Structure 1
Amino acid sequence: MKKWRALFEKSKHFLLVSSLMLITFCYAMFQGGFVSWFVFFTVSPFLLYAFIFQLVREDIYSIERKIEPSRVESGQSVNVTISIERKTRFPFAYILVEELVGSQMLVQSKIQEKDAIKFVGFKKAFHWSYTLDSLPRGEHRYLGANIIFYDFFGWAKKRIQIEKEQIVLVYPRVHEMKYATLQAKLDVGSMMAPYSIVKDTSMAIGLREYVPGDRFSWIHWKSFAKTQTLQSKEFEDRQSQELLLMLDEGASPLFEEKIELAASMLKAIVQGRGDVSFVSTGTKTKMFTSIQGEKQLDRVMHHLAGVNPIENAEVRLRDQQVFQRVATLLYVTSDISDELLHTLGNSVKSCICFVLAQQTQAQSDVIKRYKHIQVVHVDPTDYYHLFTEVMKP
């Protein structure tokens, strides 16, 4: 059935042009006179062009899509430029370029000039630009483009579908935050540490990626001479303040705000030289350990870009050893419940729950049983002083 339909689409324009040529010629022959022959000779060039149009085989040599900027955060706009090069110089009156998209978010976003009409003539290459405004977070997928060639009056047309898949990855929006080191849990008692880990610099146990802010004496110059890449010495940890950030991926009206808060906290901790790991509590628990450099942080941001809300999500703390190693668990959610407090209270040594809500929720009686759990209510419109507010007595 599809083959017959495709054959009909290709042949109907050819039959239309042939019929018009025959009708105008017969009209001039039987009617006679100046007017009838004038109509015939006036229409003939366009009909002849449409007839040749059907016989010419047109192919697309290449199609490229350039998206700027390459890194996009939620709410930002991007400029898309499509470059198309065809193999022949046969003159076409105009063509219609139509984008094929496979992302519902991309379809619903405010796209201006999604389809474009271009007057080609003899040109082999041409460009088309448009703007995508206020892109939402996620992976937006282009599938290709439809290119339709027309004659002057639309009597003949050719359609070429190009498959050119490309993904526009929109990262979560990152808000600026003032970082302050959280309380460190040491071997004996607790204290305020200026750095997330107090290191024993008398013995290096390995190398890691250089992070801006590392001391000059930590740079491993021998490896730099070989690879031309800065690396810092990794020292043995004497006192740990490793943080573990966990994101509640349950469906919520403030789901996007939860993603943005988690992304902002991770970036602030990494830039503040803190030691942090990340756990995503989705359908499959995914963990990113020891996020210390921009490359590791970018992998987490890539994961957060594709996170989707989960209905009736449950917090499952499967690996108890992981939670025993960390000093403090940072849990980002929009809804705090007694069941959640019981689960966290029995699994971790220290926990700070960041609860996103438009209004401050009433304090639960269960929280009084767990002195090592702190509940912090977060205003979705202001994240800047979050860490400093947590450190207030």
Structure 2
Amino acid sequence: MKKWRALFEKSKHFLLVSFLMLITFCYAMFQGGFVSWFVFFTVSPFLLYAFIFQLVREDIYRIERKIEPSRVESGQSVNVTISVERKTRFPFAYMLVEELVGSTMLVQSKVQEKDAIKFVGFKKVFNWSYTLESLPRGEHQYLGANIIFYDFFGWAKKRIQIEKEQTVLVYPRVHDMKYATLQAKLDVGSMMAPYSIVKDTSMAIGLREYVPGDRFSWIHWKSFAKTQTLQSKEFEDRQSQELLLMLDEGASPLFEEKIELVASMFKAIVQGRGEISFVSTGTKTKVFTSIQGEKQLDRVMQHLASVKPLENAQFQLRDQQVFQRVATLLYVTSDISDELLHTLGNSVKSCICFVVTQQTQTQSDVIKRYKHIQVVYVDPTDYYHLFTEVMKP
């Protein structure tokens, strides 16, 4: 049954044209007279064209989709230009270009009549442009395009489906932040020892193997000239220790604001010559160590662009090598609880907990029990002075 239905769908336009040709001819033959033959000869060219239309084998030689700008942040708009080149010059009346999409945002734009109708004629190349406005963060995927050719009256139709996958990666919005050397305090005997995330690049204490993402100025060229092996200088951390940033990926109304805060912090730290690690504890733990260059930062931004909120997410430090070196944890969340404070207090040596909230919250009594935990409430509309706020006593 399905085979017969598919065969009918494929040949119904051909049958329709053939039926119209037969009907008009029979009408002229049996009715006779000027009017009936006038109708026959008037309609015949269009029916003959539609009949030949069905017999012509058309194909698409090339289809390209150009998206500008190539790097997009949340809330920005992009211009999409589609270029289609067909193989023959058969004069079709017009064609419809329909995008095949695989994300909710692109489906909405499709509903808003983003399809294009082009008059074909003898042309082989067609261009079509449209604008996607206020893109949300995430991965938005194009699957391909449907190109449908029509005759003058829609009696004949030819559909060609092209698979042309392309992903539009929309990065989280990055806010300007006033950078200051971020420090955390840790009890050492009777003193409080400050720790920063900035390396002292004026004093090299040794060499290590080159790691992709190391700054160009850190390469030791003398050793490279001797050994033909890239090595980077190892600098002294006068007031540094391993810092780790973690993101609460639990679903919340302020989830996007948390992502933007994390992205803004990474951008400010890297531009300020800082160094920090990042652990994403979603459905699968992903570790980014020693983020200190633009390449490493871009990999983190790509990950943040694709992060999705998780239902019933719980804080946990999994058995990863990176946690063994962590002395200070920076934890970004939008909901702080006594259970979370207990877990943080018993898991890390020092912690700064950034709570993204629109309402001022009172300090919990549990915080007083853990002197090594600092809670900072963050206004989701203003991240500029965040680092300086952390440094306040």
Is TM more than 0.5 here? Answer: yes
CA apart distance, 1:56 = 0.5
Asked if structure 2 preserves the Cα contact closer than 8 Å seen for 1:324 and 1:348, the reply is no
**Conservation of the 8 A alpha-carbon contact between 1:109 and 1:135:** no
CA drift at 1:114? 1.6
Task: Report the CA distance shift for 1:198/1:258 in structure 2 as closer, same or farther (over 3 A).
Answer: closer
Equivalent residues of 1:79, 1:132 under 8 A apart:
yes
Residue by residue over 1:264-304, the C-alpha shift from the partner in whole angstroms, topping out at 9 and shown as x without a partner, is: 11111111111100011212221111001111111111111
> 1:22: Cα distance to partner?
1.2
Q: Which residue of 2 aligns with 1:124?
A: 124
Task: Identify if the C-alpha distance between structure 1 residues 112 and 205 changes in structure 2 by more than 3 Å, giving closer, same or farther.
Answer: farther
Distance 1:109 1:282, change over 3 A: farther
**For structure 1, which runs of at least 5 residues remain unmatched after alignment?**
none
Structure 1 stretch displaced more, 212-221 or 165-174: 212-221
| Preserved contact between residue 172 and residue 301 of structure 1 (Cα < 8 Å) | yes
Structure 1 residue 358 displacement after superposition: 0.8
Write the distance in 2 (CA, Å) between the matches of 1:349 and 1:263.
25
Deviation at 1:221, TM superposition (A): 4.4
Of the structure 1 ranges 180-189 and 41-50, higher mean CA displacement relative to structure 2 is found in: 180-189
Instruction: Quickly say closer, same or farther: Cα 1:208–1:181, change in 2 above 3 A.
Output: farther
Change beyond 3 A, Cα 1:55–1:169? same
Please state how far the C-alpha of 1:202 moved relative to its aligned partner.
8.8
CA RMSD of aligned residues (A): 3.4
How far did 1:58 drift? 0.6
Distance 1:388 1:17, change over 3 A: same
Whether the aligned pair in 1 keeps the contact of 2:177 and 2:265 (CA below 8 Å) is yes
Q: How many pairs were matched up?
A: 393
Q: Distance in 1 between matches of 2:213 and 2:19?
A: 78
Deviation of the 1:211 alpha carbon: 13
Asked whether the 8 Å contact 2:181–2:198 carries over to 1, the reply is no
Q: Which moved more, 1:237-246 or 1:318-327?
A: 318-327
What CA deviation, in whole Å up to 9, does each residue of 1:142-173 have, x standing for no partner? 11111111000000001111111111111111
Q: CA deviation at 1:363?
A: 1.1
Contact in 1 for aligned 2:187/2:193 (Cα 8 Å): no
Moved more, 1-10 or 220-229: 220-229
Structure 2 CA distance for partners of 1:190 and 1:17, relative to 1, 3 Å: farther
In structure 2, the CA distance between the partners of 1:201 and 1:252, relative to structure 1 (3 Å rule), is: closer
**Do the aligned partners of residues 224 and 73 (structure 1) sit closer, same or farther apart at CA in structure 2, a change above 3 Å counting?**
farther
Q: Distance in 1 between matches of 2:7 and 2:344?
A: 65
Q: Percent identity?
A: 93
Q: Does the aligned pair in 2 maintain the 1:185–1:240 contact within 8 Å?
A: no
Task: Provide the TM-score with structure 1 as the length reference.
Answer: 0.90
SS for the counterpart of 2:169 is strand
Q: Kindly tell me: are residues 201 and 100 of structure 1, through their superposed partners in 2, closer, same or farther at Cα, counting changes over 3 Å? A: closer
Q: Cα distance 1:225–1:149, how it changes in 2: closer, same or farther (>3 A)?
A: farther
Q: CA deviation at 1:242?
A: 3.0
Deviation at 1:191, TM superposition (A): 10
SS of the counterpart of 2:187?
A: coil
Q: 1:237 to 1:2 in 2, by over 3 A?
A: farther
